[in-house]
Structure 1
Amino acid sequence: MAEMLTDTVEWRVEAGQLPYRSALESMEDRNRAIFEGKANELVWMLEHPPVYTAGTSADGAELLDPRFEVVEAGRGGRYTYHGPGQRIGYVMLDLTKRGKDVRCFVHSLEGWVIAALGDLGAECWRAEGRVGIWTRDIDGREAKIGAIGVRVRRWVTMHGFSVNLSPDLSHFTGIVPCGIEEFGVTSMAKLGHDIAPHTFDEALKLRAGDFLAALEGKECSLP
């Protein structure tokens, strides 16, 4: 299912689970097409079967139990997990039209997800020195509820974010998530929020204008 968010940005929702390698191939093709002016920019919402992905800074010692397929992702960062119950947003935007500011892109991406989760009842935040989306777990400790991992090729962005709606959190124990041992991971379900994928998608769409405005205005933040 696809529609247009703006005149240049397409919104696509993938039905069913898409294997990670297939998504990588599609992203490479779309990146090239956007660069060549042959395709619209894209926000692509989907879900993967269980997989561990390795970023460019991945340390093999942090792959504790490779019970699922391990794929070299090409994005920044270390190891992360994707699987059922986790919502993925791949964001492919042309930064030549948006200031060529990768730091602003990542900051605004975090702000977009934080705002959407806030609208759904979860107070989340950025943490200095730790890329991603953070919240307070049921034990009162800070925990990660969403990951950010991006790649920029030809000044067109690839990859994006993942948000834990209701995944099997035990699957994260096969890795040191994003190389951070001292903090756990949590989910909307664990925090008591029963959020369907389409509900999260709609919350994101309502905040998409703020996200794009932040990029285009180089504000690097959202209200």
Structure 2
Amino acid sequence: MPSLFKKNPSPLHVSSPPYWKISSRPVPYEEALRFMEKRVEDIHKGEKAACIWLLEHPSLYTYGTSSNFQEDLRHPTDALPFSLHETGRGGRLTYHGPGQRILYCMIDLKTLSPTPDLKEFVKTLEIWIIEVLKEINIDAFRQEGLIGVWTKGPDQKISKIAALGIRVRHWISFHGICLNIDPDLSHYDPIIPCGIQNFGITSLRELGFSGNSNDIDLLLKKKCPFKSRI
């Protein structure tokens, strides 16, 4: 897997692998946002290590900085079935809920390279998910010109399996990746996910995966490109 790590990382972080935080209960969105904001400031001050947080949200919708969310509603006059949250991450309107694995990545990009590159960081996150899916025999890929991880759905049409939205402050990332394990895909119906009209949404379950989030968590740790030096 391509790596962003350089030969001479900051000595302060050479032996500082990320802290893995795993939540067993659905985490309200505002609670997650408060944690990330605080962690970013603590990392910036040198008080905390990088953190990768694995969690699930209750059903809700979020929208990022790339659009007005109303542009991504299929029926603008209809009320959404779940709460809507504005967020400072990149990207557009999407759904979060039970059956997804959320990976929030709070990582100081300056420890990956003396010249931090957000596009390369996003690419590394995408490849991370692709490598995880390879372990369960799902062929996933990056789609030119689009953000996220893609695969062919049961109908053999290209569909998104993982969405990605990042925000950076002091060159420290937060927000992250949303991987569909077994969500109720009908909750995407009221929206145009990420503003993309021409591709569908799929899940690991729809592709035949019979495991659960614990199985995916083990693979995420196994294939993590940030095992040290951050």
Q: Structure 1 length as normaliser, TM-score?
A: 0.90
Match of 2:37 in 1: 28
Match of 1:47 in 2: 56
User: Shift in Å at residue 96 of structure 1?
Assistant: 1.4
Match of 2:199 in 1: 183
Cα distance in 2 for residues equivalent to 1:120 and 1:89 = 18
User: Shift in Å at residue 7 of structure 1?
Assistant: 2.4
Q: How many corresponding residue pairs?
A: 209
Cα distance in 1 for residues equivalent to 2:219 and 2:111 = 25
| 2:168 maps to amino acid | V
Q: 1:89 aligns with which of 98, 103, 106?
A: 103
Q: Over the residues paired in the alignment, what is the CA RMSD in angstroms?
A: 1.6
Cα distance in 2 for residues equivalent to 1:124 and 1:8 = 27
Cα distance in 2 for residues equivalent to 1:195 and 1:38 = 37
User: Shift in Å at residue 73 of structure 1?
Assistant: 1.3
Instruction: Give the % identical residues.
Output: 41
Q: 2:160 aligns with which of 144, 158, 174?
A: 144
SS at match of 1:187: coil
| 1:85 maps to amino acid | G
Q: Which has the higher contact order (CA 8 A, sep 6+)?
A: 2
Match of 1:57 in 2: 66
Cα distance in 1 for residues equivalent to 2:189 and 2:125 = 26
User: Shift in Å at residue 173 of structure 1?
Assistant: 1.0
Which structure is larger by alpha-carbon Rg, 1 or 2? 2
Match of 2:90 in 1: 76
Q: Structure 2 length as normaliser, TM-score?
A: 0.87
Q: 2:19 aligns with which of 4, 10, 15?
A: 10
| 1:135 maps to amino acid | T
Cα distance in 2 for residues equivalent to 1:172 and 1:9 = 32
User: In the alignment, is residue 199 of structure 1 matched against residue 192 of structure 2?
Assistant: no
Cα distance in 2 for residues equivalent to 1:185 and 1:8 = 33
Consecutive unaligned residues of structure 1, counting only runs of 5 or more, are 1-5, 217-223
Cα distance in 2 for residues equivalent to 1:191 and 1:212 = 28
Show structure 1 runs of 4+ deviating over 4 A. Answer: none
Higher strand share: 1
SS at match of 1:130: coil
Match of 1:159 in 2: 175
